[in-house]
């Protein structure tokens, strides 16, 4: 049997660990694993909850652990097919992440940076423009970036606009983000027409733009960006075509949102992704059959 199994791709996932309120590592670890990719974790901070919608969260900074973990892995000679990062607790962590990427990256490593710092026209708690500056430096090192509309605006110094978004506005954002050099720019939370929301992605290698849209649901679904980016990053790490990765990841997010809405799970608790995993795994298996 083992000689029939393909190589297991390996990803370094560098995110905070928020114990309650699914996002960051509590989303990346299960979803990357379910996608058939080994997920090696570097927790950047330990929080009781994430910072969106909860009060009085605890916060333990793990900045001092980031580079030593990467140095140990580097010394072991472990090869990473991908490096995937998200929310950063401080600007200083941006510098540490840059160093970590240098330590873990090989010529064929895919670097995915999700500049998770803002939504709905506002920065997350305790973050400001200095975080956008920090992510501007980081996305120069990335092959793939997955900002939402707010983050795309903050990274490019563009005034934030609420939905519906004109195609020209989204194209302009993608053009400006492409100047930072990433091969793939995938902007999430785009609504080109009332009642629909989704992702517009451009492959700067081919110049092809792909759009995937789903029905909107009322309200905001915390953690949906992390669910999308985790599935998308893992599928691309496995070698999926951009269009396939986009559709599969977005369908998965839509199924998670549906379950969250039907259960009426408090939105800040994150997406009910657990029950959508079996179907997602079947679709992943089908794609790589």
Q: Which residues bind to ligand PXL, rule: CB under 6 A? A: 16, 18, 23-24, 47, 50-52, 87, 116, 124, 223, 226
State the nearest-atom distance from the C-beta of 52 to ligand PXL, in Å.
3
At its nearest, how many Å lie between ligand PXL and the CB of residue 11?
18
Task: Specify the residue, 93 or 109, whose C-beta has the smaller distance to ligand PXL.
Answer: 93
Q: How far is the CB of 275 from ligand PXL (least distance, A)?
A: 20
Decide: 51 and 118 in contact? Cβ < 8 Å.
Answer: no
Nearer to ligand PXL, 16 or 81 (CB): 16
The nearest distance, CB 130 to ligand PXL, in angstroms, is: 16
Which helix or strand (DSSP H or E) is residue 189 part of? strand 184-190
Q: How far is the CB of 18 from ligand PXL (least distance, A)?
A: 5
Strands 110-113 and 144-145: parallel
Phi, psi dihedral angles at 20 (to 5 degrees): -125, 140
**Residue whose CB is less far from ligand PXL, 70 or 116:** 116
Instruction: Kindly state the helix (H) or strand (E) to which residue 234 belongs, with its residue range.
Output: helix 224-237
C-beta separation of 33 from 238 below 8 A:
no
Which lies closer to ligand PXL via its Cβ, residue 57 or residue 288? 57
Radius of gyration of the chain (CA): 18
**Which is it for strands 82-85 and 110-113: parallel, antiparallel or unpaired?**
parallel
Q: Which is closer to ligand PXL, CB of 85 or CB of 156?
A: 85
Shortest reach from residue 22's CB to ligand PXL, in Å: 9
Q: Within 13 Å and on the Cβ side, how many CA atoms surround 159? A: 1
Residues near 245 by beta carbon (within 8 Å), at least 6 away in sequence: 231, 232, 235, 236
Contact by Cβ (8 Å): 45, 31? no
Residue 219 has φ and ψ, to the nearest 5°, of 90, 180
- Rounded to a whole number of angstroms, the minimum distance from the CB of residue 144 to ligand PXL is 17
Of 47 and 131, the one with the shorter C-beta distance to ligand PXL is 47
State the nearest-atom distance from the C-beta of 108 to ligand PXL, in Å: 28
The nearer residue to ligand PXL, 36 or 270, going by C-beta atoms, is 270
Strands 118-119 and 122-123: antiparallel
| CB of 202 or CB of 267, closer to ligand PXL | 267
Nearby residues of 44 by Cβ (< 8 Å), 6 or more positions away: 14, 15, 16, 62, 63, 66, 88, 89, 93
Collapsed DSSP state (helix, strand, coil) of residue 178: helix
Four-point Cα dihedral 150, 154, 159, 165, nearest 10: -30
């Amino acid at each position: 049997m083992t000689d029939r199994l393909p190589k297991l791709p390996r990803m370094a996932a560098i995110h905070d660990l928020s114990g309650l309120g699914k996002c960051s590592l509590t989303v990346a670890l299960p979803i990357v694993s379910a996608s058939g990719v080994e997920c090696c974790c570097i927790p950047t901070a330990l929080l009781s909850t994430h910072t969106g919608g909860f009060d009085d969260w605890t916060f333990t900074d793990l900045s001092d652990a980031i580079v030593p973990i990467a140095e140990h892995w580097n010394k072991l000679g472990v090869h990473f097919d991908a490096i995937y990062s998200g929310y950063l607790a401080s600007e200083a962590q941006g510098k540490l992440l840059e160093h970590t990427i240098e330590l873990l990256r090989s010529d064929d490593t895919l670097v995915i940076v999700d500049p998770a710092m803002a939504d709905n026209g506002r920065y997350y708690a305790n973050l400001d423009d200095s975080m956008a500056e920090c992510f501007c430096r980081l996305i120069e090192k990335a092959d793939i970036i997955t900002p939402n509309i707010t983050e795309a605006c903050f990274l490019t110094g563009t005034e934030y606009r609420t939905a519906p978004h004109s195609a020209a506005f989204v194209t302009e954002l993608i053009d400006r983000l492409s100047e930072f050099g990433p091969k793939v720019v995938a902007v999430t939370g785009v609504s080109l027409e009332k009642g629909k929301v989704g992702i517009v992605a451009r492959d700067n290698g081919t110049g092809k733009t792909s759009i995937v849209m789903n029905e909107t649901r009322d309200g905001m679904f915390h953690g949906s960006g992390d669910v999308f980016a985790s599935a998308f990053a893992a599928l691309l790490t496995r070698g999926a075509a951009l269009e396939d990765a986009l559709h599969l990841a977005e369908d998965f997010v839509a199924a998670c949102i549906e379950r969250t809405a039907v259960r009426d799970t408090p939105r800040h608790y994150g997406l009910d992704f657990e029950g959508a995993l079996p179907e997602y795994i079947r679709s992943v298996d089908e794609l790589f059959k």
